[in-house]
């Protein structure tokens, strides 16, 4: 009888089922959380657009660049390696490239921008610039390299001018819109 009384005293409602180990409970909680987050996002209106619904307007597209009145296309800063020949080290410096598209070929210029960015990165990593080229008056050697690369990638007559800056230059709002459309 004392054994039966002890068994009855230990028995609690719901204890008939076996408890999961601590690691399994943590995994189940994480899985539950991962499945609940997307459902909460959908409920909050973050669902992808269904068929037939129009997506948000993100601004003009590249093929609409001819209608924009910006004078310049400012590329995002490109970090290029600069070799310090005296110390044998490589430092990375950011340059900002501002392109002046030909007004009659603005759409062609806009479609050439991603290829120009890729070509700049590849060209400067394959043939690294030197500290002497960077510190020359107005970065002349680097500017000539970038001009030649832009002409090679985009073709002749697509851009009227190329400028290099060590810091981001100020541009007007219409040029900002054109730059965003071309990215």
HEC-encoded secondary structure of 31-78: HHHHHHHHHHHHHCCCCCCCCCCCCCCCCCCHHHHHHCCCCCEECCCE
CATH 3.40.1350 is the classification of domain 62-182:
no
Going from N- to C-terminal start, the domains of the chain cover 2-42, 62-182
Answer for the pair 96, 165: CB distance below 8 angstroms, yes or no.
Answer: yes
Do 121 and 78 touch, CB atoms closer than 8 A? Answer: yes
* Tens-place pLDDT, residues 9-18: 555 555 555 6
48-66 pLDDT, tens digit each? 555 555 555 566 666 666 5
Residue 84 has pLDDT above 90, yes or no: no
Q: What is the percent of the chain where pLDDT is above 70?
A: 62
Whose CA is closest to 133, among 142, 125, 124?
142
* Predicted local confidence at residue 101, as pLDDT: 92
**Residue 2 predicted with pLDDT over 60:** no
Proportion of the chain in helix, strand, coil states, percent, rounded to 5: 50, 15, 30
**pTM score of the predicted model:** 0.63
Q: Which residue has the tokens 């089922």?
A: 17
Give tens-digit pLDDT for 164-173: 888 888 888 8
DSSP state of 163: E
Give how far the C-alpha of residue 135 lies from the chain's centroid of Cα atoms, to the nearest Å: 29
Q: Which comes out higher in pLDDT, residue 27 or 100? A: 100
Q: Angle formed by the axes of helices 173-182 and 106-126, to 10°?
A: 70
181 within 8 A of 61, measured Cβ to Cβ: yes
Per-residue pLDDT at 27: 65
Mean pLDDT along residues 35-49:
59
Which pLDDT does position 136 carry in this prediction? 61
Phi/psi at 107 (nearest 5 deg)? -65, -45
Using a pLDDT cut of 90, give the percent of the chain over it: 17
Kindly provide the residue ranges of all beta strands, DSSP E only, lying in the chain, ordered along the sequence.
Answer: 73-74, 78-84, 89-101, 129-130, 159-165
The total number of residues written for the chain in this structure: 183
In this prediction, residue 30 carries a pLDDT of 66
Q: For residue 24, what pLDDT is reported?
A: 66
């Amino acid at each position: 009888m004392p054994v039966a009384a002890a068994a009855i005293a230990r028995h609690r409602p719901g204890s008939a089922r076996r408890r999961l180990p601590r690691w399994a409970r943590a995994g189940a909680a994480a899985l539950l959380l991962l499945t609940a987050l997307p459902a909460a996002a959908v409920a909050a209106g973050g669902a992808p657009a269904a068929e037939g619904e129009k997506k948000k307007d993100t601004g003009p597209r590249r093929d609409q660049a001819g209608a924009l009145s910006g004078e310049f296309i400012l590329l995002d800063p490109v970090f290029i390696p600069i070799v310090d020949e005296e110390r044998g080290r490589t430092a990375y410096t950011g340059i900002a490239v501002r392109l002046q598209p030909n007004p009659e070929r603005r759409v062609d210029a806009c479609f050439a921008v991603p290829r120009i960015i890729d070509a700049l990165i590849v060209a400067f990593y394959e043939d690294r610039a030197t500290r002497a080229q960077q510190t020359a008056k107005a970065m002349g050697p680097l500017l000539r390299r970038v001009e030649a690369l832009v002409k090679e990638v985009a073709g002749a007559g697509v851009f009227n001018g190329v400028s290099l800056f060590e810091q981001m230059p100020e541009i007007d709002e219409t040029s900002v819109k054109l730059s965003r459309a071309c990215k």
